[in-house]
Amino acid sequence: MIGGSAVLVWLMFVLFPVLTVAGIWGKRGRRIGPLSVLGTILAVFIFVMASYIFGRTLLYLHVLRSLKPGDVQSLAVDGILVSDTETQKAIIEALSQSVLFFPQHGGWVREFPLQIALKSGVRYDFRMAAYPSRDGVVVVSPRYAFSPSLSGALKKANINASQ
Domain locations in the chain as residue ranges: 4-64, 69-156
**Dist CA 89 CA 110 (whole Å):** 24
* pLDDT the model gives residue 71: 93
Strand partners of residue 80: 77
Q: Which of the four pLDDT bands, split at 50, 70 and 90, describes residue 118?
A: very high
**Dist CA 131 CA 146 (whole Å):** 9
* pLDDT the model gives residue 52: 84
Using CA atoms in the order 104, 106, 109, 111, what is the torsion angle rounded to 10 degrees?
100
State mean pLDDT over 39-51: 79
Comparing 142 with 76, the larger pLDDT belongs to 76
State mean pLDDT over 75-91: 90
Q: Could you tell me the sign of the dihedral formed by the alpha carbons of 53, 127, 120, 64, in that order? A: negative
Q: Which of the four pLDDT bands, split at 50, 70 and 90, describes residue 100?
A: confident
Q: Lowest-pLDDT range, 38-47, 51-60, 123-132? A: 38-47
* pLDDT the model gives residue 138: 84
**Dist CA 157 CA 87 (whole Å):** 6
Residues with Cβ within 8 Å of 96's Cβ and at least 6 positions away in sequence, in order, are 64, 65, 66, 67, 68
